[in-house]
Chains A and B, each alone.
Chain A
Amino acid sequence: MRDRGVIYTGLLVFLGIITFPMWHDWAAGTTSRGPDPVLPAQEKQCVAPLSTMRTSHMQLLMDWRDGVVRRNVHTYTAFNGRNFNMSLTGTCLTGCHTNKADFCDRCHNYAGVAVYCWDCHVDPKLARRSAK
């Protein structure tokens, strides 16, 4: 057993390398928590049921877009009979999700999704700040 020192050193290095993700995350202070988007306080029900919004909000927004721009249709009747003006900034961001950074961005950043909506559509909060 003259190689004991070499073997144990090698084992330690090996363990260190395979546990790298764990202690790297621990050192960086990241956690395994979800994105935790902040839900609007004043409104409990979105324009579609939660499950639909979770999986297909992008599809709904694209339908709204095509409706408003291409078909000149501006009103959306929700599943519960309520009517909404089809507008991302005018309805979604003004009526409920007033803090885009805490709602839209949190999930998109968590999922690593880069949306180009905001290249053109203006976050009302940003516009207010720039006007000051």
Chain B
Amino acid sequence: MKISRKDFLRLSGLSLLAVVGKKAIGALAGKGAQSAAALPAVRVTTRWAMVIDPAKCLKEEGCTKCISACHKAHNVPTINDPRHEVKWIWKEPFENAFASQESAYTEAALQGKPVMVFCNHCDNPPCVRVCPTQATWKREDGIVMMDWHRCIGCRYCMAACPYGSRSFNWFDPRPYISELNPDYPTRTKGVVEKCTFCEERLAKGQAPLCVEACPEKALVFGNLADPKSEVRRLLDARFSIRRKPELGTHPEVFYLV
């Protein structure tokens, strides 16, 4: 059979078109299927958060039960010099804790009153972004965790944290710990530390120590991803504020007002 030059060109053109067309359809269909499969896979089931009721906290004046429970269990040294002090949970005057709520007419009940503050376990933690060794990172359940083995003491995280939640060990903290708890490590010189939402207790299914130690139950811990949780119930029912939300760090510690 003889084939003319015109027929040959027409035939090859058509087959080329067929091949390209098939590839294009395959690519489009494949891409569609892939994106559809990727979407529902990402679903947060646990997002730990804390809700604090400052009014309840203020009922017992001078109470430091949550602080001492936390600091004792986590081997936090007691250093009185404010330049060197180490703290995980502490009291801050209302005006300082909520600087953006500053007003000459702060409610009398809150004026100068102490508010419990600690690491906010931000959803968008600036400390994590700046850590050069990934010694601090955000876990899937939202806890901003620390690996003290990996901390090199550069203190970038302390500069990045807008809440002052992190402390640096300027010297060996052991002489400043009155009673060592062998179940928890101390830190060493040149390491940054902060609250970890008691992740060692969460792993055993227990609530954080500060929550347990509070006689007024002013601190409520729970899972924000669970609509039926106590924290969600409180946040649904009452107005709450967070520390410096305008910075976009999405703090996960809420204060009821």
Contacts and interface: CB of A to CB of B under 8 A. Distances in A.
Interface of A: 65, 69-70, 72, 74, 89-90, 116, 119-124, 126-128, 130-131
B234 interface: no
Interface stretch (B106-114, B122-130, B185-193): B185-193
A119 B181 contact: no
A126 B180 contact: yes
Contact of A70 (B147, B182, B188): B147
A50 to B, nearest CB: 27
Contact of B188 (A65, A69, A120, A131): A120
Given A72-B139, A72-B199, A74-B203, A122 B182 contact: yes
Nearest to A126: B180
* Interface residues of chain B: helix, strand, loop or mixed (majority): loop
A44 B256 CA distance: 56
Contact of A127 (B147, B148, B181, B188): B181
B5 interface: no
A42 to B, nearest CB: 19
8 contacts: A69-B147, A72-B203, A74-B203, A90-B183, A120-B187, A122-B182, A124-B182, A127-B180
B180 A121 contact: no
Contacts of B149: 65, 69
* Interface residues of chain A: helix, strand, loop or mixed (majority): helix
B147 A121 contact: no
Interface of B: 75, 139, 145, 147-149, 179-188, 199, 203
A120 B147 contact: no
A119 B191 CA distance: 12
A131 to B, nearest CB: 6
B185 A120 contact: yes
A65 B149 CA distance: 9
Contacts of A65: 149
A122 B179 contact: no
Contacts of A119: 188
A70 B151 CA distance: 13
Contact of A89 (B139, B147, B182, B187): B182
B183 A89 contact: yes
B180 A122 contact: yes
Given A69-B145, A120-B186, A130 B179 contact: yes
A94 to B, nearest CB: 8
